[in-house]
Chains A and B, each alone.
Chain A
Amino acid sequence: MSVLLQRDVGGDTAGRPGELWKAIKQHRWHYLFLTPMVVLALMFTVWPIVASWGISFFQWTGYGPLENFIGWQNFVEAANSAQFWDAFGHTFMFTAVAVVIEMPLALFFAALLNNLWLRGRNIYRVLIFIPVVTTTAVVGVVFQVLLSPSGGAVNEALQTVGIIDQPINFLGSEAVALPTVLAVNLWKNVGVTMIYFLAALQTVPGEVYDAAKVDGASRFQTMRMITLPMILPITLVILLLTVITSFNAFDLVQTMTAGGPNYSSDIIPTYIYRYAFNPEQFQPRYGFASAAALFFGVAVLILTVLIVLPGRLLQRRQSGEGRKR
């Protein structure tokens, strides 16, 4: 995925039109091989984006032709809706938790399980990773049962141990629902980030640690002064991947709370889903759902550019320095 941070991917562009045509003809087979992917990408990636823009300017229930052009009204409505901004904020809560809690936790697990002398480290890795490959819908509905206030295993265990007197209504109370979903999402995703960090740690040669030991560095010092700076470039890639993943919480939120109670755990994808496919107000509102989706998409785009840009600048400066030397 680090291809993104790479410049100059290749491909010759010929100078004159005649040469260009010759090059195209010469590579006709290669173009043919590309065709299925390009056609599918046009259908399922490019067209949906274009169509979203188109639909977002109409009031449309999905039936009949697109006629009721209303300009930017859907966008204005979304921008003025407190519920939309709540969902917007909750969506980025998932990103914040992923960056602030999930990444350090994953690094911690990776550092623990990267010790060659630790027996069974592979088993531990696999166990921590298992939630990642599990069907999210299953995780959602099973946690719904586990966290139930009436007879759910978690409340039962907490009461038996004596931590709480009254069962906690994890998914049914507005104050606790979102943190609970965030925690389950963290549990589900931290394994993959741990694998990324394990890969990163393995790029640090063992001699470096030996040298640090000889110099009398503590393990914490070694981590902070040596390991972290050495894995910084890969960490930027991991950050990007983690941020992108954090926007895919629809499956879990929809199956655990469907955005409830009273929209307290609503995120933009569940918000869109509700307006488009599961309308509370009689008819689906495709135009409004598209506008909300675009609003969100643009925000995500800005955020990812903000993450990618420093990485590329850093790389460019480094390669520039390299050339000077």
Chain B
Amino acid sequence: MTITNGDRVASRVPPPRSGPSSRKARRNRPRQFWYHLFLIPLCFLWIYPFLWMLAASFKAKEEIFLNGASLIPHAPNFENYVRAWNAADFGQYTLNTVIVVIFHVVLVVLVAALAGYGLGRGRMPGKKWVVGGLGATMFLPKGFTVLPIFLLVNALGLNNSLAGIILAESGGAHVVAVLLFMGYFAGIPNELEESALMDGAKHPRIFFQIMLPIAKPVIGTVSIFTFIGGWNAFLIPLVLTLVRPELRTLGVGIYSFSGEFGTDWTGLAAGAVITILPIIVVFLWLQRYFIEGLAGSVKG
């Protein structure tokens, strides 16, 4: 049982069978009805909080207290967004988050790809220990060591800087990413590497010019996961920006907004939409890879 990479998972998903499945659908028409009768209301309630957020973000400030549950704003307006973006600093938070996430993704992909190459291609002494150590790391609950991490970032002089947040987030073990790269590189035929070595190429060149370009599917999967994880990060940016509000990321920003302007529900809804819209768009756009990546981590 190993972690499978995106490609191998994709090949295991059964191909769409439009013919027999639509024939089956006709046969199952009554059952189809009962399923939808259950699923449609369920899914509506399920995503109601998101619909509420969206509706509330366009409502007038007073309206929310009169008819809070309704999903149709009386006179839709962008005031809440303007207020959240400027007065509540969500513009700044968005910029911070984008900067942190870009560096975070690049760092994690690079470090994990390098390590995955080392572990996947080399059968060197000590490999067992490194892989075992990685596995053990997965059992550590997050947040349990945040205090020493905070102290370490302080000691490096990076407290109260975006660089500190990036380093602390990227430094945490990204075990799954490393294992994905390891599995992928291990599956590449030896001849490729050997012939390159024969031609006089050194390992760094083989890595950057041959191996990394082949590993695009894994880079994609790891990037999506890291992007979503980084965008949603909370504890580390919270702890590292306690005394520098202007460095907050969106997650921390919405939390402090609710603390400072707790009664401005429409502004809060606008901030919430600003925070999650990019992540929802990216998810809907790349959901196949994301879900296959997740599924691949339990199968195999």
A residues near B103, Cβ cutoff 8 Å: none
- Within residues 285 to 300 of chain B, which ones have a CB less than 8 A from any CB in chain A? 287, 290-291, 294-300
Residues of B within 8 A of A135 (CB): 231-232, 234, 250-251, 254, 275-276, 279
Alpha-carbon gap, A124 to B38, bound state (A): 11
Residue among B25, B171, B228, B296 with most chain A CB within 10 A: B171
In the assembled complex, the CB of B192 is this many whole angstroms from the nearest CB of chain A, namely 16
Asked if B105 lies at the interface with its beta carbon under 8 angstroms from chain A, I say no
Contact across chains for A297 and B125 when beta carbons are under 8 A apart: no
Residues of A in contact with B, size category = 35 or more
Given contacts A134-B279, A199-B296, 14 further A-B contacts (CB under 8 A): A1-B179, A1-B297, A27-B125, A33-B203, A41-B133, A45-B145, A51-B151, A52-B145, A117-B32, A120-B36, A126-B287, A142-B49, A296-B144, A297-B144
A-B contact pairs, 28 of them (CB 8 A): A1-B179, A23-B125, A34-B115, A40-B111, A44-B172, A45-B172, A55-B147, A112-B35, A117-B21, A118-B32, A124-B39, A126-B284, A128-B46, A129-B291, A138-B254, A140-B255, A146-B52, A152-B68, A153-B69, A199-B296, A200-B298, A248-B141, A250-B234, A255-B234, A255-B255, A269-B141, A293-B144, A293-B145
Q: Are A24 and B125 in contact (CB under 8 A)?
A: yes
Does B53 touch A at the CB level, under 8 Å? yes
**Contact present for A142 and B24 (CB under 8 Å):** no
Question: Of B111, B139, B257, which contacts A300 at CB under 8 A?
Answer: B139
Q: A202 near B: Cβ within 8 Å?
A: yes
Tell me whether B98 is interfacial, beta carbon within 8 Å.
no
C-alpha gap A195/B47 in the complex (Å): 17
Task: Report which residue of B47, B173, B255 has the largest number of chain A beta carbons within 10 angstroms of its beta carbon.
Answer: B255
B298 touches A238 (CB 8 A): yes
Beta-carbon contact of B298 and A237 below 8 Å: yes
* Docked-complex contact B298 and A196, CB < 8 angstroms: yes
Query: Interface size bucket, B side?
Result: 35 or more
Bound Cα distance A293, B235 (Å): 15
Instruction: Write out, one digit per residue, whether chain A residues 143-160 have a CB within 8 A of any chain B CB (1) or not (0).
Output: 111100001111011001
Q: A268 CB to closest chain B CB, in angstroms?
A: 8
B232 to chain A, nearest CB (A): 4
Chain A residues whose CB sits within 8 angstroms of the CB of B143 once the complex forms: 248, 250, 269, 272-273
Does any Cβ of B come within 8 Å of A100's Cβ?
Answer: no
Indicate if the CB atoms of B299 and A203 lie closer than 8 Å. yes
Distance in angstroms from B50 CB to nearest chain A CB is 7
Q: Is A195 a contact of B295 with CB atoms below 8 Å?
A: yes
Most buried by B among A3, A119, A139, A153: A3
User: CA of A125 to CA of B291 in the docked complex: distance in angstroms?
Assistant: 10
Partner of B234, one of A13, A48, A136, A244: A136
A220: CB under 8 A from chain B?
no
In the assembled complex, which residues on chain A have CB atoms less than 8 Å from the CB atom of B147?
Answer: 48, 52, 55, 272, 276, 286, 289-290, 293
- Within the assembled complex, what's the spacing in Å between the Cα atoms of A6 and B135? 10
Chain B residues within 8 Å of A32, by CB: 118, 203
Q: Is B122 an interface residue (CB 8 A)?
A: yes
Residues of B within 8 A of A44 (CB): 149, 152, 168, 171-173
What's the nearest-Cβ distance from chain B to residue A208, in Å?
14
Rounded to whole angstroms, the CA-CA distance of A34 and B114 in the bound complex is 6
**A199 / chain B contacts, CB cutoff of 8 Å:** 294-296, 298-299
Residue pair B52, A301 in contact (C-beta under 8 Å): no
Q: Which of A14-36 contact B (CB under 8 A)?
A: 14, 20, 23-24, 26-27, 29-34, 36
Q: Determine whether A11 belongs to the interface, using a CB cutoff of 8 Å to chain B.
A: yes
Question: Which residues of B lie under 8 Å from residue A13 when comparing CB positions?
Answer: 125, 128
In the complex, chain A residues whose CB is within 8 Å of the CB of B287: 126, 129
